Amino acid sequence: MLITRLELEDWKSYRRATIPFREGTNAIVGPNGTGKSSIIEAIGFALFGYRSASLAQCLREGAESGRVVVTLISSFDEREYEVERGFTSKTTTRYRVLDTDMGRIAVAEGNEDVQAWLRQHLRVAPTAALDALFENAVGVPQGTYTAPFQQPPAARKAIFNPLLQVEEYATAADRLLDSQRLLSERITGLNEEMARAEGLLARLPALEAEAEELGGDLEGLAERVTGLEGDLEAVSAALAGLDAAEQRAREAHTRSERARAEAHTQARLLEAGRLALREAEDAAERLRQSADGHRAYQEAERVLQRLETRRTERDELVAQGQALQAELARLSERRSLLDRSLEQVAASAERLAALAPLAARQAELEAALQAATARAQQAELAAAQRLAAEQEVASAERDLHDGEVGLGRAQEATRRLASLRERLERTIERGQQANVERAAAEAEIPRLQEQVAALTATTSARCPVCESDLSAARRQELLERNHLEIAALQERIRALSEQREAARHEYVSLNGQAQRAEAALRNLPGEAEVARLRDVLAARRARAAEAAVQAAALQGADDEIAAIGEQLRTLGDPRREYQRHEDRAAQRAGLEEEQAALRTRQSAAEERRAALEEALSAFAALDEDLRAARAARARHEEAHGLYLANRQLAGQTDGRRAHVTSLEESLAACRAAAAAAVEEQAAALAAYDAAEHARLRGEASRLLAELASARTEQEQKAVRHRAVSEEVAGLRGVSERLDGLRAAHAEQGNLLEVVRLVRELLRQAGPYVTQRLVRYISREASRLYGDIMDDHAGQLNWSDDYEVTFEVRGRQRAFRQMSGGEQMAAALAVRLAALRETSAIDIALFDEPTAHLDTERRDSLADSILQVKGFSQLFVISHDDTFERSAQNFIRITKDEQGSRLVGPEGG
C-alpha cells in the first residue's frame, strides 16, 4: 500500500490542510505542540478506525463538523482510492471509499462495508481488529514503544493476543460450544418427545373401546330427554296461572307497605319542622334585646376610624422630621470634606510649577526610546528574515537535490515504460495471431467432420468428396487420415487457447506494471521542474544576501535603548505626578460651587424642620382620644356579637311557619292512601291458592331436575365421545410422528459427535499455532534488530508470553537490562515483525521514536530506523531535523493563532 495524500478539514488544530506523501521515508518535523501527531492519528482514524480521544476532542474548537480523506494506492489491485470519513462531536456522519479511476464512484459506504473493504485491500485477516493493529504495530502512539515489554506477562498478553489473533482458535472452539449445547438440548428434547409419544400410544386400545360404548349410551339418553320435555310442558301451563295470581297479591302487599312508610316519614318531617320554627322565634327575641348595644358599637367603630386616620397623618410628619435630621447630618459631613479638599487643591497648585520642566524632559527621553526600540525591532526582524532566508536556501538546495535525483529516476522510469509498452505490443500481437490461427483451426474441423460423415454414409464406388473411384481400403485410409487431422487440430486449438490465455495474463501483468510506472512517473519531476527549482534556489540566495546587508545596517540599537532606559530610571516618573496635581488643581471651581450649594440646602432644611415641629403640636391629645374610643367599643362588643349571631336565623321565622303548614297537609293525604292499599291487598289474597301453587312448583322442579340431569349426562358423554374420538385420531398421528423423531434423533447424535471432535481439534491447535507464530515473529524480529543496530552478532528472542530477551555468545539479558537505544530498537523490531506476520501492510508510522534520547543515541537510532528494509513507506515524526538528511519527503509543520499548517508551497 502507498499513501499519497492526506486532506484535513477541522481536524484537531487544523482548519484545512492537504499533505502530500511519497514512497520511502516521509519526515514530519516541527516544534512540540504544533500538531504533528495529529497527522498520524488522522491516518489511523480513517484507515484503521483508531482514535485516542473522543470525537469532540478530535474536532477543531468552534467547528461543527470535520473530515479526513486519505488517498492511497491499494496493495490488493494497485488502483488509487480515496477513503473519506466525516464526523461531528458525537458521531461519524460519512464513511466511504471512492474509486478515483472510475470517476470517484463509491465502492464501499458505511462502517461495516468500509471496514471489510479496508481489511481486503490492506490484506489483513477478516477477523483482525484494525484499531489494535494500528495501535500496537502500524502507528504506535508517542511514548508507548517500549512500555508493553516492561509490563508483567498478563498485561503483555492482553496487548499482543488480539494483534496476533492467537485467541481465534479458542474463540472458535467456544463458539462451537453453543452448537454442541444446542444439539444436546435438541437430542434431550427428542428423547422427551419420544418418551411422551410412547406413553401416549399405550392408551390407544382402551380409548377405541370407550368411544364405541359412549355411542350406544348417547342413543338411550336422547329418548329419555324427549319424554321429560313433554311432561314438563303440561305442568308449566298450569303453573303460569298461579304465578300471575301470586304476583298480583305480592304487588298489593308492596303498595300497602310503601303507603304506611310514607305516612311515617311525613310524621317525622312535621315534628322536625315544628322544632325549627321554635328556634327561629327564639332568635328573633334575642335580636330585639341586643339591637341598642349593636348600634352603640357601630358608632364607636366610626369614631375610632376617624382617629386612626389622624394617627397616620401624625406618623408621616414624624418620619419626615427624622429624614430631615439625617439629611442635615449628611450635609454637615460633606461640608467638612469639601473644606479639606480645597486645602489640598491649593497645595497641588504650588507643586505644579516645580514639576513642569521634569515632565518635559521625561517626554523627550520617551520619544528617543521609542525611536530606538523601533530600530531594534527592525534589526530583529531583519535577523529573522536573514535566518528564514538561509533556511529557505537550504530547503531549496534539498529540493533541487531531490529534483535532480527524481529527474534521473524519471528518465529511468521513462525508458522502462517504453520497454513495457513494446512488450505489451508484442504480447497483443501474439494474442491476436493465436486468435487467428485458432479461428482457422476451428473452421477446418467442421469440414473434416463433414467428409467423415460422407465417407461413413456412402456405399458407392466413388468418393463423395473428389468423385474419384473409392475402394473400401481407400475409404478406411481417408477416414483414419481425417480422424488424425481432427485430433491434431483439436490439440492445436488447445495449445493456441493456452497461448492466448498466457498472452492475456502477460498483458494484464505488463499493463499493471505500465500503469504503476505511469503513476510513479507522474509523481516524479521533469526537466522543467528541475530548472524551476534552480531558479528558486538562485532567487532565495539573492534574498538571503539582501537580508544579511539589512541586518548589519541596523546593529547598535540595543545599546542606545539601554542608555536611554538608564536615564529614565534615574529621572523617575515626574509626568505622572504632574498630571495628578494638575487634575486636583482643576477641581477648585467645582468644589467652591458645591460648597455654596451646600450652604443653601442646609438653610432650607432648617426651615422645613421648624414647620414640621409646629404641625406636630396639633396632635398632642390624639393618643388619649384613641384610648377612649377603644374603651367605648369594647363595652358594647358582647351585644354586637349577639346581634350578628341571631340576625340570619331570626329572618327565617315566616318561611319555617309556612313549611310546617305544608307538612301537616301531606301527612293527612298519606294516611288516606295507606288505608286504601290495605283493602286492595285483602282482595288479592282471597283470589290466590297457595297450596296448589306449592304442589305444582314441586312437580315442575322434579321434572326440571330430571331433565337437567339427563341433558347434562347427554352433553358430558357427547363431549367425552368427541374428545375420545379426537384423541384416537391424534394418537394415530403420534405413531407416525414417533418414526420421524427416531430418525431425527439418530441424525442429531451423529452431528453432535462431529461438533465435539472439531472443538477438541481447535483447542489442541491454538497453543501449537501460537508457538509457531511467535517463533516466526521472533526470528524476523531478530533479523530486523540486527539491521537496525547494524550488528547481527546477537540473537533477539520473543517468548510465548511475549517477553523480550537478547542473547550474545551464550549470555542472555532481559529487556530491562538493555540500554534505552537497545530497548527502542528491540521494541521496533518486534512490532514490525508482528506487523509483517499478521498482515501484508508495508507501511509504518513512527511518532517521536527518538524522544528522551541524547544527541548521539538519537542520531544512531534515526539512522537505524531509516535502514529498515521491506517497507515501501515510512512516516517519521520528530521535533528536530534528525531525519531531514535522509528522508525522501520533508514536511514542516508550524502553528499560529489560526491553527496548525504546513510551511512551504503546500501549506502556504
Burial 425-463 (b: 16+ CB within 10 A, else e): eebeebbeebeebbeebeeebeebeebbeebeeeeeeeb
Q: Is a pLDDT exceeding 90 seen at residue 546?
A: no
Least confident segment among 291-305, 733-747, 762-776: 762-776
Predicted local distance difference test score (pLDDT) of residue 847: 82
Q: Which residues of 65-90 are buried (b: 16+ CB within 10 A; e: fewer)?
A: ebbbbbbbbbbeeebbbbbbbbbeee
358 or 70, which is more confident? Answer: 70
Higher pLDDT, 251 or 885: 251
Grid coordinates given for 629: 374610643
Quick check: 165 pLDDT over 70?
no
Q: How far apart are the first and last CA of the chain?
A: 29
Say which amino acid occupies 242: L
Report the C-alpha gap between 896 and 443 in whole angstroms: 77
Rounding to the nearest 10 degrees, give the CA dihedral for residues 891, 895, 899, 901: -20
Confidence grade of residue 512 (pLDDT, cut at 50, 70, 90): confident
Whether residue 367 is predicted with pLDDT greater than 90 in this model: the reply is no
Q: What's the pLDDT score for residue 906?
A: 43
Q: What is the pLDDT of residue 869?
A: 66
Q: Are 73 and 62 in contact (CB under 8 A)?
A: no
Percent of the chain predicted with pLDDT > 70 = 92
Confidence of residue 860 (pLDDT cuts 50, 70, 90): low
Q: How confident is the model at residue 885 (pLDDT cuts 50, 70, 90)?
A: low
For the residues 755-776, what does the mean pLDDT come to?
Answer: 71
Query: C-alpha grid cell for residue 543?
Result: 534574498
What rounded mean pLDDT belongs to the chain? Answer: 81
Span 152-168, average pLDDT: 75
Residue 759 has pLDDT above 80, yes or no: no
Length of the chain: 908
Whether residue 27 is predicted with pLDDT greater than 60 in this model: the reply is: yes
- The number of angstroms, rounded, from the C-alpha of 396 to the middle of its chain's C-alpha atoms is 47
**Which has the minimum average pLDDT: 251-265, 624-638, 812-826, 894-908?**
894-908
pLDDT at 488 over 80: yes
In a 10 Å sphere around its CB, with 0-12 CB exposed, 13-18 middle and 19+ buried, how is residue 339 labelled? exposed
Residue 69 has pLDDT above 80, yes or no: yes
The per-residue pLDDT for 559 is: 77
pLDDT for position 413 = 82
Residue 288, exposed/middle/buried by CB under 10 A (0-12, 13-18, 19+)?
exposed
Q: How much is the pTM?
A: 0.40
Using 50, 70 and 90 to split pLDDT, how confident is the model at 56? very high
User: What is the per-residue pLDDT for 173?
Assistant: 65
Task: Please determine, for residue 861, whether its predicted confidence score (pLDDT) is greater than 70.
Answer: no
The region of weakest confidence among 146-155, 253-262, 282-291, 856-865 is 856-865
Say what the pLDDT of residue 20 is.
94
Note whether 359 and 580 are within 8 A (CB): no
Using N-to-C axis directions, what is the helix angle for 820-838 and 153-164, rounded to 10°?
40
Question: Of 214, 195, 198, nearest to 726 (Cα)?
Answer: 214
Whether the per-residue pLDDT at 313 is higher than 60: the answer is: yes
> How would DSSP label each residue in 825-872?
HHHHHHHHHHHHHHB---EEEEESTTTT--HHHHHHHHHHHHT--S-S
Highest mean pLDDT among 521-525, 883-887, 890-894: 890-894
71-109 pLDDT, tens digit each: 999 888 888 999 999 999 999 999 999 998 888 888 899
Rg for the chain (alpha carbons), in Å?
Answer: 59
pLDDT at site 16 = 93
pLDDT above 50: residue 304: yes
pLDDT tens digits, residue range 600-620? 888 888 888 888 878 878 787
The amino acid at residue 663 is L
> Distance (Å, rounded) from C-alpha 27 to C-alpha 866?
11
Give the pLDDT mean for 284-310: 84
Q: What is the pLDDT of residue 766?
A: 64
Q: 908 falls in which pLDDT band (50, 70, 90)?
A: very low
How high is the pLDDT of residue 905?
A: 44
Q: Which residue has the cell 311525613?
A: 266
CA 288 remoteness from chain centre: 87
Q: Of 370-379, 392-401, 404-413, which range is least confident? A: 370-379
DSSP secondary structure of 578-600: HHHHHHHHTTHHHHHHHHHHHHH
The continuous run of DSSP H or E covering 458 comes out as none
Instruction: State how far the Cα of 473 lies from the Cα of 455, in Å rounded to an integer.
Output: 12
> d(Cα 808, Cα 861) in Å, to the nearest integer?
20
